[in-house]
Amino acid sequence: MLSISFSNFVSEKQYDIESLILAPCCYGGIVSEHNSPMSKLISNFVKEIYSENFDNQQAISKLDEIIDFSIKNGLINRTNNQENYNLISHNMDQEVFLELFVNLFGEKIRAVPQNNFFGKITWIFPYSIMIIGIITVSYIIKKLSSNNEQILSEVEKEKIELHIEKYDSNVY
């Protein structure tokens, strides 16, 4: 029972980390929900970090697979692997994972913006545009609905009524 609850904890932790990283193949979704070979390599790497039988060399080997695959597919250029190897440890926290993948792929790998000024703007900007749009549309609707100008003159109305009467008389 204890091992089952621990394995669920590891799965949740793995899912949380994979939810912070965009799939580097296309940046079209987070790693945990993406079904590309690159996402699977990243998932295997994260799983190795949280494995009960953690082996640093095995983790480095899995990171090398990610790097080799990325270079072969033109996702990254050569990297300073030693710097990345130094970040690897058992039960790495989310910030270290992000740092590792930002070192490899750049800031665009982040699924969630950073917690700085520009990151906050990223969250606030869509809402502010939506509010400005709602206010603008409301103003236009109010302005148009309060306009009491007649669309048709009396002469035009009479012509239309005559056409309707002629049509009605021809139908019956």
Nearest residue to 101 via CA among 28, 45, 29, 40: 45
**Run of H or E including 72:** helix 56-72
Query: Both 105 and 121 in a single domain?
Result: no
Report the pLDDT value the prediction gives residue 3, as an integer from 0 to 100: 43
Range of the domain at 153: 117-171
Residue 158 in any domain: the answer is yes
pTM over 0.85? The answer is no
Query: Both 87 and 60 in a single domain?
Result: yes
Q: For the chain, what is the domain count?
A: 2
20-73 pLDDT, tens digit per residue, is 888 888 888 888 888 888 989 999 999 888 888 888 899 889 999 998 998 888
Query: Both 62 and 135 in a single domain?
Result: no
Q: Distance between CA 75 and CA 48 in Å, rounded?
A: 23
Query: Both 149 and 129 in a single domain?
Result: yes
Residue 1 in any domain: the answer is no
